[in-house]
């Protein structure tokens, strides 16, 4: 039998239906792969018993002809998702030992469709980071290495565990979340496909909150079709999330393979940054050519407030985070470090429980909301956000169907390489992705090639609100032209 982990999610799905192998066999193949790949540190918790139980139940349903859309397909779950009775810590020390008594809506949707849980995936603490180096459980190692190098690279973040696990074939697909680029940037760094759906498309209920107005769940997958299949199951209207939107979930997979003829693709001039590596510029041009050759119309557009998205984000996201993370106080769950009185207990607990990046963002957020600074920072940032959204509305109103940009300013960098850098330098990783969150739009990262060093590079497609289908159609067209990418196994 060939290595079962080589199959895509769609292929495995079809093979299970054809009874080529069982869900238990497939699950065992993944559990074995995970064991061999522990050096990558992609999983923070493996749940083999649960996985086999779920796989057995899937086999029974497959045998009974009652298979769900994801029946028997093993997935990894980002540690930000509440999973009932299973380690859920957002990779933070402050949630030490927390095992929820509830299941997030998105993961519950996956299990209801028959998927199998392999374990919880590493991530930046509370999803704050772009390299997965802020995790309490240590860095994730990117399965990709530069040609001829054994330097460990970051997988991107915050969904670094998700991206690495998918790239290294440690799951068929993974859940992830994206607040400023946390799906698309690691997808680009690992040659995988990731989509941040429109804000409101997936329920946030049961996702440990980072920045409520920006957080959105989405999948990281091996190819565009797999991402489409996963998003179909993840998305739902949830009465428990007031911001989830009451729109039917389309059959995203049907959008894969459709013609791109007649689509108008906007190319925003503001994304052409000074000092952007030539390889990135070349990749972008290649993407434009592919879509033009496939019949799309390419138009130059302007999104004038693009450069303000990142600074506005670094006000809005920390402000919301400073409030969302106030509940970690050592009273009801997680870590408690004793103190001489209640305030001392709070201060000790939060000092010991949060890592440096999380503290930094809480302090920034607390500062920008504090008396006398609210208008200058938070209110102004939310106004700028209105302008950013208006930029997109203007080009969409002018007939643009989607926007093509690079996904990241560079390829993956080395672990520890930016340890001493200014925090802002790390934040610049999200310069292309963060606008999408600020405007609540859908964004897809799709690999478009390898750089001279053999590292994957990704392009980003930005769509109209709730038009994820167009992104899958366009992403699939790029994928058809360039193929998919997998790292050489070295671990």
Partner 1 sequence: MNMAVRTPDPKKLIKGATGDWEVIIGLEVHAQVTSNAKLFSGASAVFGAEPNMHVSLVDAAMPGMLPVINEECVAQAIRTGLGLKAAINLYSVFDRKNYFYPDLPQGYQISQYKQPIVGEGKVLLDMPEGVVEIGIERLHLEQDAGKSIHDQHPTMSFVDLNRSGVALMEIVSKPDLRSSEEVKAYLAKLRTILRYLGTCDGNMEEGSMRADINVSVRKPGEPLGTRCEIKNVNSMRFAAQAVEFEARRQIGILEDGGKIDQETRLYDPGKGETRSMRSKEEAHDYRYFPDPDLLPLELDPAWVESLKAHLPELPDEKKARFVADYGITPYDAMVLTLERASADYYEQVAKNRDGKAVANFMLNELFGRLNKDGKGIEASPVSPDQLGAIVDLIGDGTISGKIAKDLFEIVYTEGGDPKNLVEERGLKQVTDTGAIERAVDEVIAANPDKAEQAKAKPTLSGWFVGQVMKATGGKANPQAVNDLVKRKLGIE
Partner 2 sequence: MSVDTATVRRVARLARIKVTDDEAARMTNELNSILGFVEQLNEVDVAGVEPMTSVVSVKMRRRQDVVTDGENAEAVTVNAPVSEDHFFLVPKVVE
Using CB under 8 A as the binding rule, whether residue 91 contacts partner 1 is answered as no
CB-based contacts of 66: which residues, under 8 Å, 6+ apart?
none
Using CB under 8 A as the binding rule, whether residue 378 contacts partner 1 is answered as yes
Neighbours of 373 (CB within 10 A): 14
Question: Measured between alpha carbons, how far is 456 from 484 in angstroms, rounded to an integer?
Answer: 10
Q: Which does 38 bind (CB under 5 to 8 A by kind): partner 1, partner 2, none?
A: none
Using CB under 8 A as the binding rule, whether residue 387 contacts partner 2 is answered as yes
Q: Which is nearer to partner 1, 2 or 242 (CB)?
A: 242
158 is known as an active-site residue: yes
Q: Which is nearer to partner 1, 241 or 270 (CB)?
A: 241
Using CB under 8 A as the binding rule, whether residue 327 contacts partner 2 is answered as no
Using CB under 8 A as the binding rule, whether residue 440 contacts partner 2 is answered as yes
Using CB under 8 A as the binding rule, whether residue 322 contacts partner 1 is answered as yes
Q: Which of 182, 203, 233, 244 is catalytic?
A: 182
In angstroms, what CA-CA distances link 326 with 78, 94, 216, 317, 346?
22, 11, 20, 14, 10
Q: Which does 104 bind (CB under 5 to 8 A by kind): partner 1, partner 2, none?
A: partner 1
**8 A C-beta contact, residue 200 and residue 440:** yes
In angstroms, what CA-CA distances link 97 with 40, 175, 332, 336?
23, 22, 12, 11
Closest by CA to 471, choosing from 388, 406, 403, 408, is 403
Neighbours of 124 (CB within 10 A): 32
Interface with partner 2 (CB under 8 A), residue from 257, 399, 423, 483: 423
For residue 175, report the phi and psi dihedrals to the nearest 5 degrees: -85, 155
Q: How far is the CB of 49 from partner 2 (least distance, A)?
A: 21
Interface with partner 2 (CB under 8 A), residue from 345, 414, 417, 484: 345
Interface with partner 2 (CB under 8 A), residue from 231, 439, 448, 482: 439
Q: Which is nearer to partner 2, 45 or 348 (CB)?
A: 348
**8 A C-beta contact, residue 458 and residue 448:** yes
* Residue 243: strand, helix, or coil: coil
Using CB under 8 A as the binding rule, whether residue 340 contacts partner 1 is answered as no
**8 A C-beta contact, residue 450 and residue 456:** yes
Q: Is 33 left (phi over 0), alpha (psi -120 to 50) or beta?
A: alpha
Interface with partner 2 (CB under 8 A), residue from 34, 67, 220, 384: 384
CB-based contacts of 364: which residues, under 8 Å, 6+ apart?
314, 315, 318, 322
Q: Which is nearer to partner 1, 374 or 490 (CB)?
A: 374
Q: Which of residues 204-233 bind partner 2 (CB under 8 A)?
A: 213
Closest by CA to 354, choosing from 372, 340, 334, is 334
Which runs of consecutive H residues, i.e. helices, occur in 405-458?
423-427, 434-439
Site string for partner 2, 280-319 (x = CB under 8 A): -------------------------x-xx-xxx-xx----
Tokens describing residue 164:
């690495």
78 is known as an active-site residue: yes
Q: Which of residues 95-134 bind partner 2 (CB under 8 A)?
A: 97-101
Residues at the site binding partner 1, with contacts judged by CB under 8 A: 82, 88, 90, 95, 98, 100-102, 104, 204-209, 211-213, 239-243, 319-320, 322-323, 325-327, 329, 331-333, 342-343, 346, 366, 369-371, 374, 378
Q: Which residues does the annotation mark as catalytic?
A: 78, 158, 182
């Amino acid at each position: 039998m060939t290595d079962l982990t080589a199959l895509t999610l769609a292929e495995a799905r079809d093979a299970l239906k054809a009874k080529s192998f069982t869900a238990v066999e497939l699950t065992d193949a993944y559990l074995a792969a995970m064991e061999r790949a522990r050096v990558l540190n992609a999983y923070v918790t493996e749940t083999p018993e649960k996985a086999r139980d779920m796989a057995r139940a899937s086999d029974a349903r497959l045998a009974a002809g009652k298979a769900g859309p994801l029946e028997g397909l093993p997935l990894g779950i980002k540690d930000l998702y509440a999973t009932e009775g299973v380690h859920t810590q957002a990779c933070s020390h402050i949630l030490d030992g927390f095992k929820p008594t509830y299941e997030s809506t998105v993961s519950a949707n996956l299990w209801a469709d028959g998927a199998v849980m392999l374990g919880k995936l590493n991530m930046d603490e509370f999803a704050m980071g772009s390299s997965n180096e802020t995790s309490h459980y240590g860095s994730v190692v990117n399965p990709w290495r530069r040609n001829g190098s054994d330097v460990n690279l970051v997988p991107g973040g915050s969904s670094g565990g998700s991206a690495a696990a998918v790239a290294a074939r440690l799951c068929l697909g993974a859940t992830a979340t994206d607040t400023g680029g946390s799906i698309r940037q690691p997808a680009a760094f690992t040659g995988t496909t990731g989509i941040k759906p429109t804000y409101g498309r997936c329920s946030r209920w049961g996702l440990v909150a980072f920045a409520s107005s920006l957080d959105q769940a989405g999948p990281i997958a091996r190819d565009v079709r797999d991402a489409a299949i996963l998003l179909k199951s993840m998305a739902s209207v949830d009465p428990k999330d007031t911001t989830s939107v009451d729109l039917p979930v389309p059959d995203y997979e049907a959008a894969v393979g459709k013609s791109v003829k007649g689509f108008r693709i906007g190319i925003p001039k503001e994304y052409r940054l000074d000092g952007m590596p030539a390889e990135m510029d070349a990749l972008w041009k290649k993407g434009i050519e592919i879509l033009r050759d496939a019949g799309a119309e390419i138009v130059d557009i302007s999104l004038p407030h693009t450069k303000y998205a990142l600074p506005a984000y670094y006000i809005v996201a920390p402000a919301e985070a400073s409030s969302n993370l106030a509940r970690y106080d050592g009273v009801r769950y997680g870590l408690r470090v004793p103190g001489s009185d209640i305030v001392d207990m709070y201060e000790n607990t939060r000092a010991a429980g949060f890592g440096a990046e999380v503290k930094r963002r809480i302090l920034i957020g607390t500062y920008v909301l504090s008396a006398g600074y609210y208008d200058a920072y938070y209110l102004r940032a939310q106004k700028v956000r209105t302008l950013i959204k208006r930029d997109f509305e203007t080009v969409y109103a002018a007939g643009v169907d989607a926007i093509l940009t690079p996904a990241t300013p560079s390829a993956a960098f080395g672990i520890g390489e930016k340890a001493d850098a200014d925090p802002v330098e790390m934040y610049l990783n999200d310069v292309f992705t963060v606008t999408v969150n600020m405007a609540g739009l859908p964004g897809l990262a799709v690999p478009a090639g390898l750089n001279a060093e053999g590292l994957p590079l990704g392009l980003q497609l930005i769509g109209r609100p709730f038009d994820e289908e167009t992104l899958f159609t366009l992403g699939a067209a790029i994928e058809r032209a360039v193929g998919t990418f997998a790292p050489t196994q070295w671990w």
